[in-house]
């Protein structure tokens, strides 16, 4: 097996997870079509890249665990539905052995992001900045929500280096 297909899979996951984080910061939404693309990408690329059926099954188990764990915070209004789905699909790609590290890095990244948002929102926003980038103004004014997709994306990229995908290269 050449290193090309695992490299394509790594690039696909990296680009889509970064896209989700950037999109969440800009719009406070993670589109279902992006989650679906990540699911389909895994379904196609995992067997082609040489991920074993047991590794894929552990990834699926990881996604189910994360989805079930995240339903509580979603029900309490602490997380958005897109965040729950993004965490689950990221866990699918990363696999069960990486799940504790993924959850820890997501929590740490989320805490840092939340503190950064509190500081950002406490500072006055220049009219020039707000006028050029409306999403910055929207992000500044939305005092109740944090674009948690950024934390999920950063944690995913940190943990990706120890995932089974790296061994395939």
| 81-100 per-position pLDDT tens digit | 999 999 999 999 999 999 99
Q: What's the pLDDT score for residue 129?
A: 62
Specify the residue for token string 């989320």: 110
Is pLDDT above 70 for 130?
no
Reading the block at residue 114, the tokens are: 């939340």
Per-residue pLDDT at 133: 63
Q: For residue 151, how many other CB atoms are within 10 A of its CB?
A: 24
Per-chain mean pLDDT for the chain: 91
Please identify which residue in the block is written with the tokens 């990296």. 14
The C-alpha torsion from 22 through 27 and 28 to 29, rounded to 10°, is -90
pLDDT above 90 for 127: no
Q: Which residue has the tokens 């990244």?
A: 109
């Amino acid at each position: 097996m050449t290193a090309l297909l695992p490299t394509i899979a790594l690039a696909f996951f990296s680009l889509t997870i970064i896209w989700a984080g950037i999109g969440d910061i800009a719009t406070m939404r993670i589109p279902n079509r992006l989650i679906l693309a990540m699911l389909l990408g895994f379904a196609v690329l995992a067997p082609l890249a040489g991920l074993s059926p047991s590794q894929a099954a552990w990834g699926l188990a990881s996604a189910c665990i994360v989805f079930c764990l995240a339903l509580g915070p979603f029900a309490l209004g602490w997380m958005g539905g897109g965040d729950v789905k993004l965490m689950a699909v990221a866990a699918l790609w990363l696999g069960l052995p990486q799940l504790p590290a993924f959850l820890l890095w997501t929590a740490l990244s989320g805490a840092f992001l939340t503190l950064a948002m509190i500081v950002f929102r406490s500072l006055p926003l220049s009219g020039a900045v707000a006028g050029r980038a409306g999403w910055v103004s929207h992000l500044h004014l939305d005092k109740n929500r944090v674009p948690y997709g950024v934390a999920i994306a950063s944690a995913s990229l940190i943990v990706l280096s120890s995932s089974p995908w790296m061994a395939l290269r």
